[in-house]
Structure 1
């Protein structure tokens, strides 16, 4: 604001100075023109005695405020013409002291006071005679003095007005920043849901508000993710401690029992030893799962070999059929079994066959363990394009802990479909969480540690794919392992 004020003041001052100089030059040229055009009648040189005495002839009258001083051929003053209340020009008695050039105008002071006269030295009609004609500059000086005073007033008013209006305009312009400041103070106080107002993209403050709002959204999202990760870690540690506490307590109890009753019968000692070994094995498996999850979370390097998913699924189905022992019917079929010419074709991707087989085995084990005896389980293998209908992207009734794949991406799918009781939306929402069990009362000897699906999800994500679930109460469960086709596969 001060810079603009100084610049505007300098511009006004320059314009005023230019105007004063131009007007002063114009008025002075008018006076010079009058002096140049001034002509004395011949009778002004006729009565020399009258001129010598300083009195003009009665018949001679000078126009306006003209003053004339005559000099003889010898350079001495001969007389003057013109009179008035004003003090005349300060002219010497002889031309030797006259510091003028003939034919050129000059400005000299008055005999008394602070006035000035404009004079012109001319040649007279007689040989060697000269005279000096003069006009007062009182009018020019008066006009310039008044103009200068007026310009000073205008300049002062312009500067004061510019400062006042400028401060007002600047305050109005800074109102968005003031509102941003107030909102920022409220956000700092803890209300992270607030956002900055004035997001007009046509103004600098509006664009700044938009950028800051985007930054606040990302920061709030990062804080939520950090809080979620912290809560998840705490829950994971608590669940891991809870899972490890049970076998440890059992081992500790049987060990104390053996120390207190060393003379127990051999059958009781054998039973206690078997329980200790069983709980130790269970704890060892749980620790192995935890270490595996830790390695998978660190983005391990998977093998990048071609994998025939059809052969892999067939191996998993054969092993599951043996484990089912006639309680479940496990089958292998094409993905699009409704097509008339549907048949099992070669389905290839790139990745780690052992880890992918681990995922399929886990899905089959869950289907056999969590469905009633006699429930058929079907493993379907095929190719498709990612979408809400075929799989690979989110849709109502579908749950996954992995992000959606791009619509239309060529994918290969292994689906494990059972006709069991299915899961409620609340259970399906948490099915991929670590240590989560659908039935908390289920025996840990048969219900697992709750880490299988979390491990399977991590392996699927490591192969640029995802694990998803379609289910509903009474609709059974369909787990899909969705992976890129061999030409689009990009393993981690």
Structure 2
């Protein structure tokens, strides 16, 4: 197609330039005619006489034998007298008009006419009137013709050269385009082979020519990007399918276990193996526990299903103060576990500018601060690892400035019911996997640099080994199946926590509690000050620590 367009363009250019060139050559020839017609040519070729009042032209012996032009002479009445110049043979002379009167010559003026020879050659001619120099008062008409053969030869030569150059250009262009197309399609052939391999199921194929300045390079880059996304989507689909299969298998297993127990006790009762009141009460107790466990599992499954369904819905995100959430959760846990010590710690007072120290003025001796109570000292010792106090320089005394600390309230963006569900699930997990008499702390804080509010649930149980911490938030994952069954867990509580926090743009991670145990830290984005209602900024309980 490209070669055809090029050939068409060259043909059009040749057809258009040939008439222009020929016209220019003829115009140059026509510009020579006025100088020839303005000069009398009769006495140059003939001896002119007027016997009996009639012009007679006799050929001179020394007349030019051949000239570039041909001239014809006429009387004023238009009768031809003679012709001269040009080629000697008549077939090479143009066919002049049969009559050319004085009036006709004057009417032509500077106009030129085209004459032809018997052999087919063309001449350009012009007419004018002249007077004899040797015989005064005698006027005649002459027509001078110049051959156009030279112009036709130049045009013909040009056309031949142009045609040759055009043909060579078309041939070279065809070869060059064929080479470029072959090279381009050779690179596209690699794209084709890669696409065929991908169609066969090998999604690891990638294209290598990634030159951004070429179309093929940009195409390869786009295909690689598409393949990366397709590969990622397929891997995500495979993970989803595997998780779904594992989820269905685990859910079926977890539901089948209590159903088998209930069915077994029912069959024992039907067969008469359970007859006494004590055995019947024990069997009913086991059936009730298995039913409760199955109900909890179904509720957790429904909660996860609702979370997955609501993930694309718009949540009602509002500012929430984490301190009342922690206090309410601690009160609920205190009712469920009356033998535990539940402590709520507000660490937002620590998130402030460092106090400015000024040299102390001479004053009365300082009064010793009261020692902390045994409970406070024990809890703080478990939560913090304090360094040894620095030695005091006796020659310099500093006191804290009286500037009041600026607290960063732990007011976060979230949905209150879901945040409370997260804290409740984590407290239930801490209560389930820690000794019955061990304390549990809820530590509320805010990190202005990270822009998050935090609430940590600290227990002092067995803890979680580092190698399994990344798996504990997966669905139906349990580190110890037997322990999970004894404690009634199915491996869904922490998965619900992770799903809720993901929908709230928050996060949760677990750390080791100093002295043993696990600390689950929940982080949620802090609410902007302008979006926080005024009543949330008021201190509802000005205590940094609450022991229950």
Which TM-score band (shorter chain)? Answer: 0.7 to 0.9
Deviations 1:116-168 (A, max 9, x none): 23333332425353233334333333333223322222333333333333443
Q: 1:294 and 1:9 mapped to 2: Cα distance? A: 75
| Offset, 1:242 | 0.5
Gaps of 5+ in 1: 387-407
Paired residue for 1:364? 427
CA contact (8 A) 1:427 1:438 kept: yes
CA distance in 2, matches of 1:470, 1:32: 113
CA contact (8 A) 1:422 1:474 kept: no
| Structure 2 CA distance for partners of 1:281 and 1:233, relative to 1, 3 Å | same
* Map of 1:81 onto structure 2: 84
Query: Is residue 429 of structure 1 aligned with residue 470 of structure 2?
Result: yes
Distance 1:75 1:301, change over 3 A: closer
Which aligned pairs between 1:120-139 and structure 2 lie closer than 5 A? Answer: 120-125=126-131, 127-139=138-150
Query: How far apart in 2 are the matches of 1:33 and 1:56?
Result: 23
CA distance in 1, matches of 2:125, 2:8: 41
1:231 shift after superposition: 1.6
Partner Cα distance (1:225, 1:60) in 2:
108
1:30, distance to aligned residue in structure 2 (A): 4.0
Q: TM-score with structure 2 length normalisation?
A: 0.72
Give how far 1:257 is off.
Answer: 2.2
SS for the counterpart of 2:302 is helix
* Partner residue, 1:69: 72
Q: Secondary structure at the match of 1:298?
A: helix
Say which of 95, 113, 119 aligns to 1:113.
Answer: 119
Deviations 1:86-114 (A, max 9, x none): 6222135543799863654322111x211
What secondary structure sits across from 1:438 in the alignment?
A: coil
Distance (whole Å) between structure 1 residues aligned to residue 80 and residue 473 of structure 2: 125
Instruction: Please tell me whether residue 259 in structure 1 is matched to residue 236 in structure 2.
Output: no
- Greater shift, 310-319 or 40-49, is seen at 40-49
| Structure 2 residue ranges without an equivalent (≥5) | 133-137, 351-379, 387-399, 533-548
Task: Flag the 1:195–1:357 CA change in 2: closer, same or farther, 3 A.
Answer: same
Alpha-carbon spacing, 1:214–1:120, altered in 2? closer, same or farther (3 Å): same
Pairwise CA distance, 1:381 = 1.1
- Are the equivalent residues in 2 in contact too, given 1:333–1:344 (CA < 8 A)? no
In the aligned structure 1, how far is the partner of 2:189 from the partner of 2:526?
56
Q: How many residues align?
A: 465
- Structure 2 distance, partners of 1:342, 1:418, is 30
Q: Are 2:478 and 1:466 equivalent residues in the alignment?
A: no
In 2, Cα distance between equivalents of 1:383 and 1:263: 58
TM superposition shift of 1:34: 4.5
Q: TM-score, normalised by structure 1?
A: 0.79
Alignment of 1:45-444 (within 5 A): 45-47=47-49, 56-61=59-64, 64-82=67-85, 84-85=88-89, 87=91, 88-95=93-100, 101=108, 104-110=111-117, 112-125=118-131, 127-172=138-183, 176-261=187-272, 264-299=275-310, 307-321=320-334, 323-324=336-337, 326=339, 329-335=341-347, 347-349=410-412, 351-371=414-434, 376-385=439-448, 408-409=450-451, 411-444=452-485
Deviation at 1:428, TM superposition (A): 0.9
Q: Distance in 1 between matches of 2:516 and 2:7?
A: 79
Tell me if structure 2 keeps the 8 A contact 1:66–1:135.
yes
Q: Secondary structure at the match of 1:441?
A: helix
- The whole-number CA distance in structure 1 between the counterparts of 2:320 and 2:102 is 122
Residue 481 of structure 1 is matched in structure 2 by 522
